[in-house]
């Protein structure tokens, strides 16, 4: 079974090292000692991660202040097609139509519906170049 040092566990849970140590001291999270370091077993870490997600206790990330994608298009969601697993989301940003495929869960969490303001953030390692027909 994989085990994680306190710092790694804190990063994976989205909390501080001190919080993980405090949880270990109070019994909320079970930690053991390997050599001179405290570690958390992977299964125990997964249990706490699920608990945090279910209770909503995990801190929400702040607004995006920087991103690696340079092509960002502000537009409106025009269509959302959902099935049991996936969703197709169409965004109209000026003259450009963007289609995103994502999990249904992601579309539901974002509450995507026609009329919602959204940003299509495009990053691609492959760009296809085509030549238009000549008259």
More confident residue, 33 or 134: 33
Q: State yes or no: pLDDT of 101 exceeds 90.
A: yes
In the block, tokens 């409106």 appear at 76
Spell out the domains of the chain, with CATH numbers in brackets. 3-55 (1.10.1660.10), 71-122 (2.40.50.100)
Lowest mean pLDDT among 9-18, 37-46, 61-70, 110-119: 61-70
What values do phi and psi take at 101, rounded to 5? -105, 130
Burial of 93-116, coded b for 16+ CB within 10 Å and e otherwise, reads eeeeebebeeeeeebeeeebeeee
pLDDT interval class at 127 (50, 70, 90):
low
pTM of the model: 0.54
- Are 121 and 69 in contact by the 8 Å Cβ rule? The answer is yes
């Amino acid at each position: 079974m994989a085990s994680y040092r306190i710092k790694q566990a804190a990063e994976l849970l989205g909390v501080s090292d001190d919080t993980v140590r405090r949880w270990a001291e109070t019994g909320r999270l079970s930690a053991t000692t390997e050599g001179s370091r405290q570690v958390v077993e992977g299964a125990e870490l997964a249990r706490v991660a699920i608990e945090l997600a279910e209770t909503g206790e995990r801190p929400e990330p702040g607004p995006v202040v920087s991103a690696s994608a340079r092509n960002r298009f502000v537009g409106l969601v025009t269509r959302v097609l959902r099935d049991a697993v996936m969703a197709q989301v169409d965004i109209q940003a000026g003259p450009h139509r963007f289609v995103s495929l994502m999990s249904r869960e992601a579309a539901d969490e974002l509450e995507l519906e026609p009329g919602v303001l959204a940003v299509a953030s495009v990053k691609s390692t492959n760009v296809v170049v085509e030549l238009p027909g000549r008259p």
